[in-house]
Chain A
Amino acid sequence: AQSVTQLDSQVPVFEEAPVELRCNYSSSVSVYLFWYVQYPNQGLQLLLKYLSGSTLVKGINGFEAEFNKSQTSFHLRKPSVHISDTAEYFCAVSVNLGYSTLTFGKGTMLLVSP
């Protein structure tokens, strides 16, 4: 079985500062990786995904993530955050795209202050 660890439950940062949200996974087989964002009282929105190819993937809202197979990580980064980026961020993995069951991390709350 696979698992996802998001080490930080909360990350406070000032507006316009860079941020990195960490995600590590464990799996005995190849994985596909996703980052989702959840704003208060809303569903999840797909930020970006790694299915294959380039290990550096770019997503919406200026976010990017890098798949590092040797370190089993998929950290999410943004060079300059905005107040509107305040939200819960979930890292997720899947091992079977055809039956795309996701395993989620516990989430990281990004708190951006002025």
Chain B
Amino acid sequence: GAVVSQHPSWVICKSGTSVKIECRSLDFQATTMFWYRQFPKQSLMLMATSNEGSKATYEQGVEKDKFLINHASLTLSTLTVTSAHPEDSSFYICSASGTSIAKNIQYFGAGTRLSVL
């Protein structure tokens, strides 16, 4: 199947700092990328959807100024958590869909665990 790489896998930061998470499609062109947040023992909550070269579409209740999403190329999307606070601590997962082997199917990264102190 298609491979999606997410980095870093774990990050600890101080309150008030910003954190950037990268999501890369390694063997296909990701025309659409998705960012999810997952709380312990819960399902995935879609935060936003981004199409390459366009502004991201955020789900209701997600602050676009806090969670900045960039999808500047067909293989890379980034999520920046700005001025992070302890309540932003969570597991963030990206997924990608696009051409060839990833057509019509979302493939997921391994996730990033963010801990804000």
Closest chain B CB from A107 CB (angstroms): 5
Beyond known contacts A43-B109, A102-B46: 14 more, CB 8 A cutoff:
A32-B104, A34-B106, A41-B111, A42-B111, A44-B108, A46-B108, A90-B43, A97-B104, A98-B104, A100-B105, A101-B49, A104-B43, A105-B43, A106-B42
Sampled A-B contacts (18; CB under 8 Å): A41-B91, A41-B111, A43-B6, A43-B93, A43-B95, A44-B44, A44-B93, A44-B108, A45-B108, A46-B1, A46-B105, A51-B104, A90-B43, A98-B104, A100-B97, A100-B105, A104-B44, A107-B43
Q: Name the residue among B4, B107, B113 with the largest chain A CB count within 10 angstroms.
A: B107
Interface pair A99/B32, CB less than 8 Å apart: yes
Classify the interface of chain B: helix, strand, loop or mixed.
strand
A-B pairs, 6 with minimum CB distance: A97-B104, A43-B108, A44-B108, A43-B110, A43-B111, A104-B43
Interface pair B104/A42, CB less than 8 Å apart: no
Q: Which residues of A contact B106 (CB under 8 A)?
A: 34, 46, 100, 102
A contacts with B, residue count (CB < 8 A): 22
- Measured in the bound complex, the distance between the Cα atoms of B46 and A44 in whole Å is 14
- Measured in the bound complex, the distance between the Cα atoms of B41 and A106 in whole Å is 9
Q: Which residues of B contact A101 (CB under 8 A)?
A: 34, 46, 49
Residue B32 contacts which of A43, A51, A100 (CB distance < 8 angstroms)? A100
Closest chain B CB from A46 CB (angstroms): 6
CB-based nearest A residue for B112:
A43
- Measured in the bound complex, the distance between the Cα atoms of B113 and A33 in whole Å is 28
Q: Name the residue among A34, A41, A51 with the largest chain B CB count within 10 angstroms.
A: A41
- Measured in the bound complex, the distance between the Cα atoms of B107 and A37 in whole Å is 12
Let me know if A36 is at the binding interface, CB within 8 A: yes
Interface pair B43/A106, CB less than 8 Å apart: yes
Q: Which residues of A contact B49 (CB under 8 A)?
A: 99, 101
